[in-house]
């Protein structure tokens, strides 16, 4: 039986149940989910499915990430709500490709882990599956592992196995609507220019879950521990001196309450230049290099090859007199005389 897999939270429990209910079937997992956006989130979900299938002794195949085809299929349905017309097209596509895969492999049965997802309509899935059976002769196994306490069992398994629990269905349209309704920043779509790995970003989780796999492969003990911290996201920075734009970098956790500030350098102490407004501080790249033990030639070079967030935070600690100082700190190639205009759109969010 070919089992289309959408994510580990749905698949681990589902596959365990299938192994019990269909002991004579050889199960093959098929991860085909080009709906998942962005690609880093797709990789993260796949990684956790790999781990789950490995634990259960189930072969896993990866489908093509044909995201552009998926996008063209749902064109015009962008504003549909979840469980609406876009989702139907999305299921159709994933079914169609999975069922073709089943035919290609000589399988006669197919099912999908989407059947246990509380966000999906079982009737909708069954309709699509039955239609495919009529067309292609691959039987759709519509098991119901949700009722009779199934959902509670699934939550227990998710916790016990420490599976990666995503908090959105998968596509950019569902995610946009969800974050709009929650009034939350669409953090998932942030990709810093220099690919710096931001705390709690998908890339950060990808590294964490990869490390977890490595520990498990090496038989090393580990524990995933949750943390609360101040999260930082920067949208835009622009600094001009005497109306001429200059290359600049805002040190992590730099924010301005009204996004804009202007002023002049008031005094300089120990290579830190203090502006007369908003507690703004400036340092030159040369001083930054000294503090961070790096050797950037220009600020531009640093923007495209940034230090890790941890190393940037260390520089902040060296520049501030207290651990709770969140003054905006900017790094420039050199500090010129003149009126300084700053536009910084950035947020600190508690996570
Ligand atoms: S919300 Fe989920 S099921 Fe619906 S189209 Fe997006 S990814 Fe597919």
Ligand 1 atom at minimal distance to the Cα of residue 114: 3
The answer, yes or no, to whether any atom of ligand 1 lies below 6 A from the CB of 63, is no
CA gap 67, 138 in Å, rounded: 25
Residue closest via CA to ligand 1's atom 3 equals 87
pLDDT at 134: 85
Residue closest via CA to ligand 1's atom 6 equals 171
The answer, yes or no, to whether any atom of ligand 1 lies below 6 A from the CB of 86, is yes
**Residue carrying the six token digits 């309450």:** 257
* Cβ neighbours of residue 73 closer than 8 Å, sequence gap 6 or more: 89, 90, 93
294: Cα within 13 Å, side-chain hemisphere: 19
The answer, yes or no, to whether any atom of ligand 1 lies below 6 A from the CB of 170, is yes
Question: CB–CB of 63/97 below 8 Å?
Answer: yes
Classify each residue of 263-283 as buried b or exposed e, where b means 16 or more C-beta atoms within 10 Å of its C-beta: eebeeeeeeebbbeebebbbb
C-beta atoms surrounding 82 within 10 Å: 16
178: Cα within 13 Å, side-chain hemisphere: 15
E strand or H helix that includes residue 268: strand 265-269
CA gap 351, 5 in Å, rounded: 30
pLDDT at 351: 67
Question: CB–CB of 1/113 below 8 Å?
Answer: no
- DSSP-assigned letter for residue 118: T
Task: Please write the tens of the pLDDT for every residue from 269-313.
Answer: 999 999 999 999 999 999 999 999 999 999 999 999 999 999 999
Residue closest via CA to ligand 1's atom 5 equals 87
In the reported structure, the alpha carbon of residue 125 is separated from the centroid of ligand 1 by a whole-number distance in angstroms of 13
The answer, yes or no, to whether any atom of ligand 1 lies below 6 A from the CB of 306, is no
Q: Is 174 helix (H, G, I), strand (E, B) or coil?
A: helix
In the reported structure, the alpha carbon of residue 329 is separated from the centroid of ligand 1 by a whole-number distance in angstroms of 41
pLDDT at 191: 82
Task: Please write the tens of the pLDDT for every residue from 195-214.
Answer: 899 988 999 999 999 999 99
The answer, yes or no, to whether any atom of ligand 1 lies below 6 A from the CB of 169, is yes
Nearest by Cα to 44 from 18, 9, 89, 15: 9
> Which residues, in sequence order, are bridge partners of residue 223?
none
Residue closest via CA to ligand 1's atom 2 equals 169
CA gap 343, 130 in Å, rounded: 57
Residue 28, phi then psi, degrees to nearest 5: -125, 125
The answer, yes or no, to whether any atom of ligand 1 lies below 6 A from the CB of 87, is yes
C-beta atoms surrounding 212 within 10 Å: 19
Mean pLDDT of the chain: 93
Note the pTM of the prediction, 2 decimals.
0.89
- For the chain, give the longest Cα–Cα distance: 80
CA gap 348, 350 in Å, rounded: 7
10-residue mean pLDDT profile of the chain (351 residues): values are 96 96 97 97 97 97 98 97 90 90 94 82 78 84 89 93 93 95 87 88 94 96 89 93 97 95 96 96 98 98 95 95 92 96 91 67
CA gap 49, 11 in Å, rounded: 7
The token pair at 268 is 């300089």
CA gap 92, 246 in Å, rounded: 51
Residue 71, phi then psi, degrees to nearest 5: -60, -40
CA-based Rg of the chain, rounded to a whole angstrom? 25
């Amino acid at each position: 039986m070919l089992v289309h897999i959408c994510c580990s939270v749905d698949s681990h429990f589902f596959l365990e149940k299938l192994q019990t209910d269909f002991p004579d079937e050889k199960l093959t997992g098929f991860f085909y989910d080009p709906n998942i956006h962005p690609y880093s989130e797709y990789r993260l979900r796949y990684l956790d499915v790999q781990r789950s299938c490995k634990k259960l002794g189930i072969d896993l195949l990866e489908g093509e990430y044909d995201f552009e085809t998926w996008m063209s299929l749902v064109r015009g349905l962008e504003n549909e709500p979840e469980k609406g017309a876009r989702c139907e097209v999305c299921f159709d596509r994933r079914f169609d490709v999975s069922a073709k895969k089943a035919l290609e492999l000589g399988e006669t049965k197919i099912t999908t882990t989407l059947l246990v997802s509380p966000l999906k309509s079982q009737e909708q899935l069954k309709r699509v599956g039955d239609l495919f059976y009529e067309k292609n002769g691959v039987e759709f196994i519509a098991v119901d592992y949700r009722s009779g306490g199934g959902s509670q069992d699934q939550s227990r398994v998710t916790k016990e196995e420490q599976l990666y629990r995503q908090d959105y269905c998968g596509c950019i349209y569902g995610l946009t609507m969800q974050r709009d309704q929650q009034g939350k920043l669409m953090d998932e779509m942030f990709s810093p220019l220099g690919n710096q790995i931001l705390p709690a970003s998908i890339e950060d989780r990808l590294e964490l879950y990869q490390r977890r796999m490595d520990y498990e492969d090496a038989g090393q003990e580990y524990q995933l521990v949750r943390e609360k911290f101040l999260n930082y996201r920067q949208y835009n920075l622009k600094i001009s001196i005497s109306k001429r734009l200059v290359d600049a970098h805002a040190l992590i956790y730099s924010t301005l309450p009204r996004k804009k500030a202007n002023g002049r350098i008031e005094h300089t102490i120990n290579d830190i230049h203090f502006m007369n407004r908003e507690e703004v501080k400036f340092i030159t790249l040369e001083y930054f290099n000294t503090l961070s033990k790096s050797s950037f030639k220009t600020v531009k070079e640093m923007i495209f090859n940034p230090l890790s967030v941890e190393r940037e935070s260390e520089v902040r600690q060296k520049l501030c007199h207290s651990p709770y100082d969140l003054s905006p700190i900017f790094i420039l190639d050199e500090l010129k005389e003149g009126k300084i205009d700053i536009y910084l759109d950035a947020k600190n969010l508690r996570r």
